[in-house]
Amino acid sequence: MTRRRWIADEVSGDTAALVGDHAAHLARVLRAEVGQEFDIATGDEVRRGTITTIGYDPVEFALGKKTVLRSPGDAPKITLAMAIFKFDRMEWGLEKCTEIGVTRIIPVIARRSDAHLVAAAGKRRERWLRVVRQAAEQSRREAPPEIAPAVKVKDLAGDMVSAGSVTRIVLAESEADARLGDVLPSWATEVALAIGPEGGWSDGELAWFYEAGWTAASLGGTILRAETAAIVGAALVIDGLR
């Protein structure tokens, strides 16, 4: 039977702990008991963990042998630059893209992002971190993706222009653009994929991407919701790099 995996909040030598709501979920909802074993991700490795102390805060583990993991170099590095849109759908996209294997997520303030959502995005980041951590544990990842602070489109395009080793692709809705799979180089090891808001990127934003060296690509002739485009695009990129 596959053991459930938890990402430790605190690690010290051969002990680890879950704290706060993380610990309360294990103790109250799952009704874990002293002596139960789980896989515990400690940041750079995964070890067998045996519960030694259980309470609503913290739950403590004694760490045992290491679990054999794939080399970090085996996994493609995918940065998902996702325009801010309706939070419930955006968070569903964050969850699924975490399960797929996205490495880093950058919320983007686009011209068509609703102003009240942009204003609330900073306070929402803690929730987003919980969403991706839970998804990472469920999908047995070694660590959740990083969630960067929100940036404006022009800042995103400018910041990544010097990243010569990163293949930068912006999804557009034009059927005239090449398909995503056709613009993904076979040699790429790190990709940044930009997903626009509902209604897509504005012409001015696309101009910024092009000036900064991003390549435009399409997912086809149908119009996808933003979260669907993020999931499909990330899956295609990760599959193409494996």
Q: What is the rounded CA–CA span in Å between residue 234 and residue 230?
A: 6
Work out the pLDDT band at 164, boundaries 50, 70, 90.
low
Q: What is the pLDDT of residue 23?
A: 86
The partner residues of 168 in beta bridges, in order of sequence, read: 192
H helix intervals, 39-165: 87-100, 115-138, 153-159
Contact 89, 113 (CB under 8 A): no
> To the nearest whole percent, how much of the chain has pLDDT over 70?
91
Question: So what's the architecture of 5-66 in CATH?
Answer: Beta Barrel (2.40)
Q: At 191, which amino acid appears? A: V
Q: Is pLDDT of 74 > 70?
A: no
The fold adopted by the segment(s) 73-241 is: Alpha/beta knot (3.40.1280)
The structure's pTM equals 0.81
What ranges do the domains of the chain cover? 5-66, 73-241
Nearest to 152 by CA among 212, 101, 102, 100: 212
Average pLDDT score over residue span 154-175: 73
Work out the pLDDT band at 159, boundaries 50, 70, 90.
low
